[in-house]
Amino acid sequence: MEDNIKKLFEIKSDQLPTSVPIFPLDNVLLLPFGKLPLNIFEERYLKMALDSLKSHRMIGVIQPKNNNNELFTMGCIGKITSFIETPDYRVVLNLEGVCRFVLEERNLTPSGYYQAKINSLDYLDDLKSIEPHIDRSSLITKYKNFFKMKKLEIDKDVLSETSNLQLLSTLAMLAPFNKIDKQAILESPNLIERVNTINSILDLNTFQVLNNENSSRLN
Question: Can you give the pLDDT at residue 9?
Answer: 75
pTM across the whole model: 0.90
CB 123 within 8 A of CB 182: no
Please report which confidence band the pLDDT of residue 162 belongs to, taking 50, 70 and 90 as the band edges: confident
The stretches of 113-162 forming alpha helices (DSSP H) are 136-149, 156-160
Pairing of strands 58-62, 19-24: parallel
The residue extents of the domains of the chain are: 2-124, 136-214
Please report which confidence band the pLDDT of residue 157 belongs to, taking 50, 70 and 90 as the band edges: confident
Question: What is the CATH code of the structural domain delimited by 2-124?
Answer: 2.30.130.40
pLDDT digit string, tens, across residues 37-87:
999 999 999 999 999 999 999 999 999 998 888 999 999 999 999 999 999
Question: Can you give the pLDDT at residue 84?
Answer: 95
pLDDT exceeds cutoff 80 at 212 = no
Q: Cα separation of 15 and 33, whole Å?
A: 16
Q: How far is CA 89 from CA 45, 53, 176, in A?
A: 12, 16, 30
